[in-house]
Amino acid sequence: MTQQSKGKRPSASRPLGARDIALDTLRRVETDQAYSNLQLNRALQDAGLSRADAGLATELVYGTIQRQGTLDYWLGKFVAKGLNKLEPWVRQLLRMSVYQLVYLDRVPPHAAVNEAVQIAKRRGHAGIAGMVNGVLRNMLRRRDELTIPEGLAPSDRLALEYSHPKWLVERWISAYGEETAEAMCAADNEPPHSSIRVNRLRSTREKALIRLREQEMSASPSELAPQGIVVERGGNLADTPSFRDGLWSVQDESSMLVAEAADPKPGMQVLDCCAAPGGKTAHLAEKMNNEGRVFANDLHPHKLKLIDDQAQRLGLSCIQTMSGDAGELAEHFAPGSMDVVLLDAPCSGLGVIRRKPELKWNKTPKDIEAITVVQRRLLASCSQLVRPGGVLVYSTCTVERKENEEQVDRFLKEHEDFELDAQWPMPVLASLKDKGAIGDSFSGMVQLLPHQAGSDGFFIARLRRRG
């Protein structure tokens, strides 16, 4: 890629500001398929911005990606030669600037335009700067035209109002109905909150809450996960003495429910088939009081260090890491040798859009079809390792029924020696019922949607092998 197509970065003598950081991140997400959260975190660590500027950069990155579809709809009326014909950095600069004009009240409109023009001058040439200036000032003059048309069909309205791909909205309306689909789309555009899982071997939730509040963090017990704590305005929770001392781990509340559903006991043989980065592995080991064995497998050898580092930090010696294709684990372990098998399967990730908003623009229906083939193969293979009377837990971080309920239904039809198991821990069932994720006739699998508890969208099924 040429320097022109990337846009020249400011000189080394001029420190990068919030908008430059945001623009570089947005370009990398589009052109290099970088994950927005990882790319932004790296950029902010290197830049050393003030808290206010770091907050602005974060808002610009997530907001611009979240609202990309709507921003492009409006920009399409003002960019003469078409938005897709612009260089990526110019396209992202326009998106980011219009996001400020429409969605950020605290940024004066003329300031947003002037900043965009200055960036265009530094990174491009006079022609680009003039085009950016003309487009944005024209949009500012015709601000009342930046609205959602009335009378649209439901899928078109939701796609444009909440900035989601139309194909995805159509699937959600078909699966959940228009009202729930709208709630899901709205939740995807909300900022995610932070949560931690207390290491029960080294602390209690009550003690952790006291410690967090002593550090002037706004913390409250999770209403979803027994060992969870929700932290508002807590900063980087992984950069604290308590994290380094292994008192807690950073994990989304819905993800914590996976090990709760597995409910392993001390002394058991447990297998986590797709384990990296190790959050669920560690949670399983904590619930087992570090007694027994948790085998943590991952396809990628370099990711094993993430699991080993977690185990060491948390004081968990019962975890044994290994690398290989989860579909071939039956070659390494005897059939029926595991009390609990967890398959946290590769998936489309459509339940974590609020954390990785680019997912909704990058995924396609073909991606869903392709991943269901992988999931089916892994389920068939990993299930062989469950002992009679043992438990198989299948989980994903998506809300796509082909990957979730339909996948489990197909597995049960093909494996009559398994059945759904509704014997989940009562506190977990109570919290799921309270959030409206399950009803009175709970079968053993749950689809937690992102608007129900303010958490990621997650699917969990607990199955038992007959015996």
Q: From CA 307, how far away is CA 293, in angstroms rounded?
A: 14
Residue 13 has pLDDT above 70, yes or no: no
Helix (H) or strand (E) holding 117: helix 109-123
Q: What is the mean pLDDT of residues 210-223?
A: 92
Residue 14 has pLDDT above 70, yes or no: no
**Three-state SS for 442?**
coil
pLDDT in tens, 127-162: 999 999 999 999 999 999 999 999 999 999 999 999
Shared domain for 441 and 316, answered yes or no, is yes
pLDDT in tens, 336-383: 999 999 999 999 999 999 999 999 999 999 999 999 999 999 999 999
Token pair for 352: 């974590």
371-387 in b/e form (b: 16+ CB < 10 A) is bbeebbebbebbbbbbb
pLDDT in tens, 232-281: 876 788 889 999 999 999 999 999 999 999 999 999 999 999 999 999 99
Shared domain for 305 and 376, answered yes or no, is yes
pLDDT band, very low/low/confident/very high, at 467 (cuts 50, 70, 90): confident
Q: CB-based contacts of 397: which residues, under 8 Å, 6+ apart?
A: 254, 255, 347, 349, 351, 352, 456, 457, 458, 459
Helix (H) or strand (E) holding 437: none
CATH number at 219 reads: 3.30.70.1170
- CA 345 distance to own-chain centroid: 14
Peptide bond into 365 cis (omega under 30): no
Q: From CA 447, how far away is CA 142, in angstroms rounded?
A: 43
Q: Are 113 and 133 in contact (CB under 8 A)?
A: yes
The answer to whether position 202 is within a domain reads yes
Q: Which of 374, 376, 440, 446 is nearest to 414 (CA)?
A: 376
Q: From CA 458, how far away is CA 194, in angstroms rounded?
A: 16
Q: From CA 85, how far away is CA 7, in angstroms rounded?
A: 15
Q: From CA 208, how far away is CA 214, in angstroms rounded?
A: 10
Domains of the chain: total: 4
Shared domain for 184 and 330, answered yes or no, is no
Longest dimension (CA), the chain: 75
Per-residue three-class SS string for 19-61: HHHHHHHHHHHHHCCCCHHHHHHHHHHHHCCCHHHHHHHHHHH
The answer to whether position 1 is within a domain reads no
Shared domain for 73 and 198, answered yes or no, is no
Q: Please report, for the chain, how many H helices and E strands are present, in that order.
A: 21, 12
Q: Which domain holds residue 69?
A: 11-145
Which amino acid appears at position 303 of this protein? K
pLDDT band, very low/low/confident/very high, at 6 (cuts 50, 70, 90): low
Residue that terminates a domain, selected from 115, 145, 175: 145
- The mean pLDDT of the chain is 94
Shared domain for 286 and 235, answered yes or no, is no
Nearest-10 Cα torsion for 301, 459, 369, 343: 30
Shared domain for 313 and 428, answered yes or no, is yes
Q: From CA 26, how far away is CA 35, in angstroms rounded?
A: 10
Q: Which of 400, 392, 423 is nearest to 352 (CA)?
A: 400
Tell me what percent of the residues of the chain surpass a pLDDT of 90: 89
> Is 185 considered catalytic here?
no
The answer to whether position 288 is within a domain reads yes
Shared domain for 89 and 231, answered yes or no, is no
Token pair for 7: 């846009």
Q: What is the DSSP letter of 290?
A: T
The answer to whether position 182 is within a domain reads yes
Q: Is 188 exposed, middle or buried (0-12, 13-18, 19+ CB in 10 A)?
A: buried
Helix (H) or strand (E) holding 307: helix 304-314
The answer to whether position 3 is within a domain reads no
- Angle at 453 (CA atoms; ends 176, 351), nearest 5 degrees: 55
Q: Which of 430, 426, 371 is nearest to 402 (CA)?
A: 371
**Three-state SS for 259?**
helix
The answer to whether position 6 is within a domain reads no
Q: What is the mean pLDDT of residues 173-197?
A: 96
Which residue is catalytic, options 185, 273, 382, 397? 397
Q: Nearest 5°: phi and psi at 146?
A: -85, 70
DSSP notation for 367-403: HHHHHHHHHHHHHHHHGGGEEEEEEEEEEES---TTT
The answer to whether position 2 is within a domain reads no
Shared domain for 361 and 398, answered yes or no, is yes
Shared domain for 135 and 23, answered yes or no, is yes
pLDDT band, very low/low/confident/very high, at 12 (cuts 50, 70, 90): very low
- If one counts every other C-beta atom within 10 angstroms of the C-beta of residue 148, the result is 13
Residue 8 has what pLDDT?
61
Shared domain for 106 and 175, answered yes or no, is no
